[in-house]
Every structure is written in C-alpha cells, then in structure tokens.
A and B are shown apart, each in its own frame.
Chain A
Amino acid sequence: MASFLAKRLALALVTIYAVVTLTFFMVRLMPGNAMSYLEAQLSQQGGLTTQQIAAKVQEAYGVQPTGPLWHQYLSYLGNAVHGNFGTSILDPGKTVLSVVAGALPWTLLVVGLALLISFAIGVIIGTLIAAFPQSMLAKIATGVVSFLAAVPNYIIALVLIYLVADQEHLLPASGPYSLTTTPGWNVSFISSVLQHALLPVLSYVIVAFGSWALTMKGSVSTILGADYVRAGEARGLSRYRVTRSYIGRNAMLPMVTNLGLSLGYMFGGSVFIETFFVYPGLGYYLVQSVNQRDYPVMMGCFLLITIAVVVSNLIVDLAYPLVDPRIMSPGRARQTGLTVSGRAAEAQTADPAGRPAA
C-alpha cells in the first residue's frame, strides 16, 4: 500500500515539476517569446536604460532576462517555490499569484458541482438503461445521451446564453454573483452564487452526463452477466446485498478510473465556459491574458490549472484502493504466503465506447 501511494505521489510531483520547467521554456525560449517581446516593447518606448528594462522584465516574469540560461532557470525555480510568478504586465500592482489564487475557487466551484451532478445523473440513468434494456425509456435515453455526448460544450453554452438572453434576473448569464449582495457566509450571497453558477454548470452537465451514463450502462451490463452475481443469489443473499456489494461495487470501478481523466477534460473546458459566462475562474483569466498579451498571468493560470488537475488526479488515485482493495503491496501478499498476481490499477485511457466528458 505504501509503495502504491509513494509511486502516485512521485508521479504527481514529477508532473508539476515538468510543467514548471515547460512554462519556463515557453516563456524564454519559444519563437516570439514573451520576454523578448516585452524587452522590445520597453526599449521602443524609450527613456529606459538596459538595466532598467532588465529589471522591469524580471519584475514582470520573475526571471532575469540576462545571464546564462541555467542561471535563469534556477532562479525561476527558486521563485516558483516561493510562489513568486511575477506581476501582471497590464496591472503591475497585482501579483500573478493573487490573480490566480482568487480565480481558483470559482473554477473549483463550477467544475466540482458539474462533475458531481453529471456523475450522479449518469450513474442513475446508466443503471436504469442497463437494468431495463428493452424498455422505451432505455431506447430514448440511449439515443439522447449518444447525441449529447458528441456536442462540444461551448456550443451548448452559447445556445443557453442565446435562449435566456431576456431572463437576466432569473438565469444570470454573467458574473459569479450579483453585485447587490455582499460576499460572506450569508444566505443571499450563497444563493446568488449558486444562481450565477447554474448556467455554467448546466453547460457542462448537459454534455457530460451522457458520457457517464454510457460508461455506467456498459459497466453494469457486463457485471449483470457475471457468474459471481448468480453465485451471490445462489447463496441466498438478499437483493439489496447483491445489488450493492456484488453488482454496484464492481460496476463502479471503471467509473472511478475515469474520474481522473474526466477532471482533466473539465478543467480544459473551463476556458470556454468561463469566457462566455464572464465567470472569473482560471479559464477566464487564461483567455483574457492571452488576448491581452499578459504573459505572466497566462503562465500562472496555466500552471495552476495543471496543478489542480494533478492534485485531483492524485486524490482519485489515492481513493481508488477504497473501491478496489486488490491493490495491495507485495509485502502484504508475502504475509499470506501466496504469490502475487499483481493487478496494478492501469488507468483506463479513453475508452471509445464510453468517453468521458469533453
């Protein structure tokens, strides 16, 4: 068990490190790179010495534009560990860290709610379809979700905005909360937040629940025919027990495995949803900073989105043994004196029949 944990943790750290490095190279080395661009701009403006320009660039990016490359890299890493990612070019008073830290909760709120809701609906509908495959409900549901799962989520978002254009007060289509309420743990604020989150969450859910439903349906259908389910019945177990521990637990395995992948997609989709709904999350700021050439903020958003995905993947990985206890360390097996058949949790990659939400 410990080695499994350690391996997953190590992978997470390596990924974060890789992304930080990647960000550095994109900032410094890519053609048309950001720092040179800023340098050129500042020198064009005139009135600054080269040292002053260098200082300004460093302040903006957290990296000295001069000096050997590996030196810049190390100082970048050092700064990153301290949370110094520079300041916004457009708004030099704000640090990148403050911008992204403020944006993170909003993205987490919408993505989290959307994932929970679409997962829950998907489980219910998928199970129903698998349990009553010949019914009218199953046929209609399968058709509908097959269609919806293929539609890009930004299109759904645009359609929703178009449809509710006149109902701003009921179904707000912009902003995280109404400006008339004061932020804090009070009912009017919380309800305003939820109200404003409704449409963005809906945009995700409409597309995503279909994928979950299809995956669940496939999973349950396979399990229903399994021998151990019949064996459970043959032993006189109650229907409840068989459904919960024999069908349910086994059917959930592929769903949990897909959670990690799905989170990646959803965070990615946030760039569209948040932009169209003017929702101040990481995706929104990513796009804004791209269009405004505010590269430090852009890098910061990208880094934080990636870290969010890595951490949530890690949480799912760590929770997996709870669902599938077969992941045991070799040490445990030695206790029982048997050889290990070693079933590792190979994360299921995009299964064509049941893609997670795009």
Chain B
Amino acid sequence: MAADPALLEVQDLTVSFGKVRAVENVSLSVGQGRVYGLVGESGCGKSTLAYALLGLVAPPGRIVSGAVRFRGQDLARMSYRELRRLRARHIAVVFQAAMSAFNPVISIGAQVEHILDAHPGVYPSHQAGREYFEELLRLVRLRPEQVWRTYESRLSGGMKQRVAIAFALLLKPEVLVLDEPTTALDVLSQRLVIDIVRDLHQSLDTTVVFVTHDLAVVAELAERVAVMYAGRLVESGTVEEIFFDDRRHPYVKALISAMPSVAADPARLRPIPGQVPDLSALPPGCRFEPRCALAVPVCPLVEPELVVTASGHAVSCHVVNSGLGRDGGQ
C-alpha cells in the first residue's frame, strides 16, 4: 500500500448522533508529512470525521464502532487524561469559523498561557513559549502587540482565523487539522490562509488534514483527497486521480464539472440535480443513486464496495468498478 507509514489511521469508523449515522464505515490513512483533503457537501459528515481525529466528537454524538489510530494507538479507547496530552501537542485543530473559537472574556495572551500551563513539558519557560507564539503570529502576517493583550471581540474574522492557526501550531504538533479554513472569509483572506498553510507545511513538515467543500482549495493544497457523501467514503486517491482519472465516482465527476471556471463557457455549467438524502431515512443501497446518471438496477439495492487499485485509488461504485476484480486488477 502507501510507502510512508501511516501517522493517522481511520479504520471502519462509525459515528452516530442518536439514530443518525453521520459517519459510516469510513477508512482512510494519512501518511506522515502529507496534505490530505476531505471533501463533500454540507452535512456529509466530513467535519464530524475531522473532529473524531482528535477524539472530539460533539455530544450527543458518539463513536459506535471502528477506531481512530494515531501512531497505532486508538483514540476512542483513551482516557480523558491521555487525550489531553495528545491534543494540541500532537494533533491540533483549527475550528470552522474561528469567530467563536476564543473565550470572549479572557485576553488572547492569557489563553495562550492556559495552553502552556496545560502542557508543561514543551517549553522550558512561559517566556519561551510566548516568543515562539509571537514568531508564529508574524508567520501569519499579524503584529504580536496587536494580539496578545486584546480580546477576541476586537479582531476581525480574517485575523481570528490566522490567530487560530497560530494557536494550533504553538506546541509544534505533528498533525494539523483544519475545518473549512477558507469558508466565511473574503477572497484576499482566503488567498492568505492558503499561502500560509502551504508555507507552514513546507517549512515545518507538518501533516495537514483539511476539510472543505471548496474544490479550488483542494486543487491548490491537497496531495491526497477523500470524498464523502451522506456519511460514506465514496472515493479516495491522489489529487490528480480525483480531478482527471477516467475511473471516478459519478458524484466526484459531477462535482468537478459543476465548478465554474472563469475562462470556460458558462453555458457548460452542469449542476447536480436532486438533493442530499435524509440521513435518518437512508436507502439500503448506494446513497447517490437517486441523483446518478449511471444508475443500474443493482445500485439502490446493494451498498457498493470500496475497490482499491494498486496505486491506492479507491472508488465505491457498482458501475465504475464493474470489470475490476476485488483487488483492483482487470
């Protein structure tokens, strides 16, 4: 399989919110130092999956089955103490819409101190930690004196997003998870964030997992991509495979065609008809079938298997996979 050892591995993970399965039987592996993109529409479960990577499933959600392994250790089985040591130190997250990711009544600097308090082994002194944080602030193009003593209400949305990135990198984690890093930002801020993430990945060799519905960001940043639909993983592969390969899931193909291009003829825009299914009333077979142009009689009856080729390109579709053996060979 992949040549690099998997740093982060998700095995058959299922996360439920009561009767609704937000994530169902998803498996993927993130290699060390890679940039991994999680793509899908709103409500497809990608955010839930991303938070599960930190053991941070928001109640009333719970992990019903499967495992999330960081360096071989299953997060779902760890105690709160062990998770605490893991979080921010080894795996860090930047929340979607950092608008409310900061405690409103405590200054930004004080919140940094809280992190340093909670992870005493990382820096020899608070001063050292603060200096590194200020370096990070400069990396994200912010002035340290603007940020340390202020409260979050005085920062703009774009600024908060960048401060959030600095927070996430403070303890030099191996994995950085970003949930919708460019959504709700103006175009200039989006550009800035993309550049920052790329620079950081190159200079610090951090493993990056980011969740987005914006395929343009995927095209710019990702090396490997996983596409989710209605809670299931429908395709995963390299970014070239996702964008150009012949053998792709119909949903992925349709997504790419739905992207408007500045240069192309607007008449060629082709949206995907239909709607995302209701997660509490799922059909037994393929979930994309009602909207799929390639559907055949077996599709709504049997859940398609995820078939992986030798290069690691996995697709879950009856039609596209027909003609392939179980191991992906012809």
Contact = CB atoms under 8 A, between A and B. Distances in A.
Q: Do A and B come from one complex?
A: yes
Interface of A: 226-228, 230-239, 241, 245-246, 249-250, 253, 323-326, 333, 336-341, 343
Contact of A235 (B88, B99, B106, B149): B88
A232 B56 CA distance: 11
Contact of A233 (B87, B100, B145): B87
Contact of B103 (A250, A333, A340): A250
B154 A230 contact: no
A230 B167 CA distance: 14
A338 B101 contact: no
Interface in B28-60: 54, 56, 58
B256 interface: no
Interface in B80-134: 80, 83-89, 92-93, 95, 97, 99-107, 114-115, 117-119
Nearest to B167: A235
15 contacts: A227-B99, A228-B101, A230-B95, A231-B101, A234-B88, A235-B87, A235-B118, A238-B118, A246-B103, A249-B106, A250-B104, A326-B105, A336-B149, A338-B150, A343-B153
B146 interface: yes
A245 B101 contact: no
Contacts of B84: 236-238
Contacts, number: 93
B17 interface: no
Nearest to A241: B114
Interface string B236-268: 000000000000000000000000000000000
B105 A250 contact: yes
Contacts of B101: 227-228, 231
Given A230-B95, A249-B106, A326-B104, A236 B146 contact: no
Nearest to A225: B58
B95 A231 contact: yes
B114 A245 contact: yes
Interface residues of B, number: 38
Contacts of A333: 154
A234 B90 CA distance: 11
A98 to B, nearest CB: 45
B115 A235 contact: yes
Contacts of A236: 83-89, 115, 118-119
B151 A326 contact: yes
A239 B104 CA distance: 18
Contacts of B107: 325
A249 B114 CA distance: 15
A253 B103 CA distance: 13
Contacts of A239: 80
B118 A237 contact: yes
A245 B89 contact: no
A246 B153 CA distance: 16
A124 B150 CA distance: 32
Given A227-B100, A230-B56, 13 more contacts: A228-B102, A231-B102, A235-B115, A235-B118, A236-B84, A237-B84, A237-B118, A238-B118, A250-B103, A325-B151, A336-B145, A336-B146, A340-B154
Contacts of B102: 228, 231
A325 B105 contact: yes
A247 B142 CA distance: 28
Contacts of A340: 154
Which of B89, B101, B102, B107 gathers most chain A CB within 10 Å? B101
B154 A228 contact: no
A304 B99 CA distance: 47
Contacts of B100: 226-228
Contacts of A343: 153
Nearest to B97: A227
B191 to A, nearest CB: 23
Contacts of A238: 84, 118
A175 B134 CA distance: 65
Contacts of B154: 333, 336, 338-341
Contact of A228 (B89, B93, B104): B104
Contacts of A338: 146, 150, 154-155
A234 B54 contact: yes
A325 B109 CA distance: 14
Given A233-B87, A234-B93, A235-B114, A253 B105 contact: yes
